[in-house]
Structure 1
Amino acid sequence: MVTTEVRPAAAVESAPAKAPFLTRTGRFVLGVALAAAAVYAQSLAMPFEQKGSFLTRHGSVGQIVSADRFNARVDKVTAAKSVDTSDSTGKTAKVQTSHVFLVLDVSGTVDKEPLKLGSFDVWLHSGDGRRYLATDKVDPSLTLVGRWLQAGWWISGPLVFEVPKEALPGAKLVITAPSSAFVEDSFAPEAEIDLGDAAAGVQEFHSLVGAGS
């Protein structure tokens, strides 16, 4: 009888694999990126009062407020029960409110790059903490919204807000430098202008047609 001796296979020992340098570096970079993203996401969730307060420049009516990318000034504050606007045919029409139209004559300029304010870049911050966007009852072409601010000269136009009269005391105009259409920049510079006694002397009518320049 022929027997065959089966020898056990030699065990092959392998050294523990070392993580490549680039892999370790990549993990570090990813960790830093995730941490930065978490901080940015937290900043987006901040209350209005805490958002980039160190980038907010304050002023009052008649003062030039420099907010890094632009300069703004509220020249006049008017409260009225009705204003005029242009309709779809270009004719002048009168609009009324059961509240108050707060009309702010505002001028703006920039030091370098041109800048165009959008409808979400300006709002009224009332004394009770609420925010109001510009009214949609007035043709935007009559206002400062949508106009280009350019270096070398001041562009003027009204901003019109429809608010309850009780929202006027302590009201402030806030103008923010335009940011991306997809991401809100919590650290964009902004101007906050105290409107003082905006509730004083509500007029029956205030004309807007031809007010901008």
Structure 2
Amino acid sequence: MVKMYKTMAILLIMFGYLLITDCSETTRTKRAKRPRAPEPVNFEPEPQQDLENEESGSQEKDIPEIPTNFLSPSVREYLELGKSIPGRPGVDYPILSAIPYTNFYCDEQPYPGFFADMETRCQGWHYCDIDGRQASFLCPNGTQFSQAVFVCDWWFNVRCDLSPRLYAINARLYQRPKVNPTRPHRIITKELVDDIFN
């Protein structure tokens, strides 16, 4: 009896092995050698970040090549995504990576609200709270703050030069409603229901 169990166990192990290997013989093949380092990628140099100085200097010619193995795949993907934004970065739209200090102050505004910052070419914007506190934000690259609708929108949809004239839209944010909230509601009658559904 014990001998039969041993035989069954051996058969079961062999059957399991054949199932796993799919009854195919394995042959050892030589692995192909991989190159040590991929070819370096020539990324376009970053445009000049100085918003005050519009002329492009010769600094861009001195930027060294970045070897591909230096950048992680996620960084390479991010850099490729930047090429999908229409227009020229730094020329058609600003590409700030941090909120710069500007001469915008909430205490100079007549009312609280959302304000595009002209010094950042509308990539930066500020929220002025009722109590005078200021919070500054930065729109993603390729977008600018639209003063008309208070959101970051693609640069080609925003007229940044009109923003100061639209600051007055903020006056509507904290107004009292013109409709009296205590006004009685309409009474629903049979005639009203018939008018609606017939």
What TM-score results when the alignment is normalised by the length of structure 2? 0.23
Larger % of helix: which?
A: 2
Question: Which structure has the higher relative contact order (CA within 8 Å, separation 6+)?
Answer: 1
Larger radius of gyration between Structure 1 and Structure 2 = 2
Q: TM-score, normalised by structure 1?
A: 0.22
